[in-house]
Amino acid sequence: MEKITINTPGFRSEILVGERWDAVAGLLPEKDVIIITDDNVSRLYGDKFPKIPVFSLSPGEESKKLEVIEYLAEQLLLAGIDRSGFVLAVGGGVVCDIAGFLASVYMRGIRCGYVSSTLLSQVDASTGGKNGVNLRGTKNMLGTIRQPEFVICDPKMLQTLPEHEYLSGLAELIKTAVIGDKELFDLIEKSFEKIMSRDTDLLAILVTKSVRFKGLVVSEDEKETGLRRILNFGHTFGHAIEMQKGVKHGFAVASGMVLATEFSFKRKYISLVEKERIIRLLERFKLLTELDLTGNQIGKLVLHDKKKTGTEIHFVFTQGIGKAIVEKVPVNEVLGFYNKFRDKK
């Protein structure tokens, strides 16, 4: 097992990669604990949950809304949970987002921890303290930053994932490699068969590398005022694609990474060879979705992107595999690039 510590002002979060998920019972307080999960995870693992109250949600983005937070807060109140309470999430990114959001606002904040059951959550969503819900079709428009006390990433849980959920997480793993770890990119590139067969030992290594990188970034910039912005590589276009087309997060971000890579090439930040390596790897894992949205469809959501300030947006470019840079770019230039790229397809 690998223990990765994230230190932020006034808080310490521990990510346990390779720990058995059911070992979580030994990390919980003796009382006033509730579990938040979804119906799919409950069906697979619910019989081994600790004997404490469980609230199970419908799987997917539809549960990421304020009405669900309000409902759960009422259930905590009815269960007698006070400021000494603890929220345990057992699930993927949506479940961890909801549980973290709830823990951060209930009675102005109670403790929380996660058992991360998906690849997307293990390599990205459950680390770093970001919690968000959607608002009127806009991704994560309402959110908080609250670090979990612990996150368990058990690679064996990934064996039960549907293939599209597994591949969705792989896209975020590739994103981490592109922006900050060339060795990780090389390892993914040469390990196609083992990744597709879900080799547990390899997955533990991949998750550890991804979490270590994100942990370093978050420890330096928890509130996303500088360095942490690089984690949004592919997300400016990706979030718009996700909300407009209704595809899984990772697939949308993969297509967003193609656009960000092409934009980087247009600005001469990346060589043709490295551009083709990035796109070829995304294609090999069949992560790309058709870029058939109109400029107006993309623009409607980009204009509401949290990374936008005034008429500019913080856009993440790659400067070569393992390097990233953030620049403030006029929104019109971003949308103009998309329209020209789409016209060439």
Over residues 86-97, the mean pLDDT reads 97
Q: Which CATH architecture has domain 2-160?
A: 3-Layer(aba) Sandwich (3.40)
pLDDT score at 308: 73
Structure tokens at 307: 């990374």
Write the DSSP assignment of 175-208 as a string of letters.
Answer: HHHHHH-HHHHHHHHH-HHHHHTT-HHHHHHHHH
Q: Tokens 């590739």 — which residue?
A: 174
Q: How far is CA 337 from the centre of its chain?
A: 26
104's enclosing H/E stretch is: helix 93-105
pLDDT-derived band of residue 137, with 50, 70 and 90 as boundaries? confident
Domain covering 232-345 in this structure, CATH number: 1.20.1090.10
Q: How far is CA 188 from the centre of its chain?
A: 18
Over residues 187-205, the mean pLDDT reads 98
241, pLDDT greater than 70 = yes
Q: Tokens 């276009």 — which residue?
A: 237
pLDDT score at 243: 87
pLDDT score at 295: 83
pLDDT score at 297: 86
Over residues 48-64, the mean pLDDT reads 95
Percentage above 90 pLDDT, the chain: 83
pLDDT score at 296: 86
Q: Return the SS3 of 287.
A: coil
Least-confidence region, from 230-234, 244-248, 253-257: 244-248
pLDDT score at 345: 66
pLDDT score at 186: 98
pLDDT digits (tens, 9 = 90+) for 295-342: 888 887 787 776 677 889 999 999 999 999 999 999 999 999 999 998
pLDDT score at 306: 66
Least-confidence region, from 67-81, 94-108, 128-142, 169-183: 128-142
- Is the separation of the CB atoms in 320 and 273 below 8 Å? no
pLDDT digits (tens, 9 = 90+) for 258-272: 999 999 999 999 999
324's enclosing H/E stretch is: strand 324-330
12, pLDDT greater than 80 = yes
pLDDT score at 138: 84
Amino acid 180 reads G
Over residues 271-287, the mean pLDDT reads 98
Q: What are phi and psi of 318, to 5 degrees?
A: -100, 135
Q: What is the pTM of this model?
A: 0.93
pLDDT score at 221: 92
C-alpha span between 244 and 18 (Å, rounded): 36
